[in-house]
Chains A and B, each alone.
Chain A
């Protein structure tokens, strides 16, 4: 039972990280109609920046803050230099152009930081297990991730639903020509939105850095998961991304943990352990396939899309 709760929490944690990525992706797609494959690169940069700045300043928090700023700046720079020229073009052009950016960033990181990857050590108190309900212990830092990402999600909600910028974002998502015609500085809006997406991705990257990984190519693996989340949740929909992220995170984590046991109900132990790794990777894709059959536009498709 304890194991189950722990796995569920891990699932929520993964889900929240996915949400940060998916929210940024879906925002950028919803507003600018831009398919950004290089989103994972920003996730990677966030992690690398955090590891570097934390080591330089000897402070996890300061390092994270600087990294967030750095990722934001890099994101906006990418938007101004490269992304701007891709707006309004075919999605294939976006795919190709941002694919090129992935290669570029992977190599750049290799050049600057070397091929080996980095580590981001945690302050010792974060490593202790915390008792969340009597008898159930969970690593403190993982709780921090969940809480921090939920806080960011809440902030994002407030931003999008309650501020003027958010109103422009939502308006731009349904009718970008109109927003431009109303005299809003569309270029600035796009740069800010892209920067926001980049910051979200970088934040996710740095949050998971201490417990998961800081290495070249880490962005691509999670990017695919983020795509699956968006497909399930519905493109352009942040609410959909939230629900789908939790769904995907929990199904993937709990599924992997229990699949061998479930399979053993039907197959021999040998067959179950052989099939389990392959099948557990397939779980979320099967989930995605199911959604595609039943509701191809996603669970919460954004209105007007």
Chain B
């Protein structure tokens, strides 16, 4: 893959630079809200990158990926509550448990395909949601507060917001790099081939199931790490993390950004979360143009009414996501 000076690549590079320099801007202007928002974006982008590995490249539409966010987060939360505050223990355990759950869910659901697969992953994620709701000791529905972030001793201080931002940034870049390498490797070509024509893959001699399963587990582990980061970011975990609409959000990010490209999910996460953050403001301004401030504020509260049909519009008219729109612009 040779880097070309295409419009799309310039935009992506620009985005990465903006993300890298954001904390500097925030420290300068004192706007820490923005840094918090973008930390969240970085983490969810990483989750979307993990989803895109199996969905965009592997054709496995998992509607249950929020489960791994939840598992990663709850492992950190539960261990913290039980007195184990070291990140060196918490995070590997979070990854291991996420991987294990992905192994089980994958083993059961990958024998099916299409709509079955979507529903099954959805069901298993919701199951974890209900289990977490039932864990009275760890807050149940109300959630669990995390009083101390994962401690890594002298290595890094996660309670320092800027440091934490860069940890998340590094994790995101690392995950993109890993996905990029995987996708072009022998393993990745098998996964992509299976998406393209599974029957053919079997005919030429690949035991497709085990490759898909391993890919599914890798994706789950990566998302589990995002979950551990998310728990640290919000200092709180609750079952709502894993509610199925969160899985839907991840899918939207991946599709909106452009599936089947390594940077697409980042674009999608930025686009979706920025949109969600500023759509109310946009609506308010739009209404202010011809109505009173009261109505404008009220109208802005219902911003999700616009967001919903927007997904439908993306599906119908911009299926390749923002990435393909950028590519089209570049071609002139």
Contacts and interface: CB of A to CB of B under 8 A. Distances in A.
Interface string A77-101: 0000010011001011101110111
A297 B133 CA distance: 30
Contacts of A97: 311-312, 315-316
Nearest to B124: A285
Nearest to B130: A281
A292 B133 contact: no
A107 B305 contact: yes
B112 A227 contact: no
B286 interface: no
A188 interface: no
Given A274-B137, A278-B134, A292 B112 contact: yes
Given A96-B255, A227-B122, A231-B116, A106 B304 contact: yes
Interface residues of B, number: 46
Nearest to A105: B308
Contact of A107 (B118, B308, B311): B308
A96 B140 CA distance: 30
B305 to A, nearest CB: 4
Interface string B98-126: 00000000001101101110111011101
A104 B116 contact: no
A29 B120 contact: no
B244 A224 contact: yes
Given A99-B252, A278-B130, A288 B308 contact: no
Contacts of A104: 304-305, 308-309
Interface residues of A, number: 46
Name the prevailing secondary structure of the A interface residues. helix
A282 B310 contact: no
A220 B311 CA distance: 18
A285 B119 contact: no
B15 to A, nearest CB: 23
A48 to B, nearest CB: 16
B81 interface: no
Given A92-B255, A104-B308, 9 more contacts: A86-B316, A97-B311, A100-B310, A107-B305, A111-B305, A220-B245, A227-B122, A227-B123, A281-B127
26 contacts: A91-B61, A92-B251, A93-B319, A96-B251, A96-B252, A97-B311, A97-B315, A99-B311, A101-B312, A103-B305, A107-B304, A107-B308, A110-B302, A111-B302, A224-B126, A224-B244, A228-B119, A231-B119, A231-B120, A274-B136, A277-B133, A277-B140, A278-B132, A278-B135, A288-B120, A288-B123
Kindly list the 4 A-B residue pairs having the minimum CB-CB distance in the complex, ordered from nearest. Answer: A100-B311, A278-B134, A104-B308, A281-B130
Interface of B: 55, 61, 63, 108-109, 111-112, 114-116, 118-120, 122-124, 126-127, 130-137, 140, 244-245, 248, 251-252, 255, 302, 304-305, 307-312, 314-316, 319
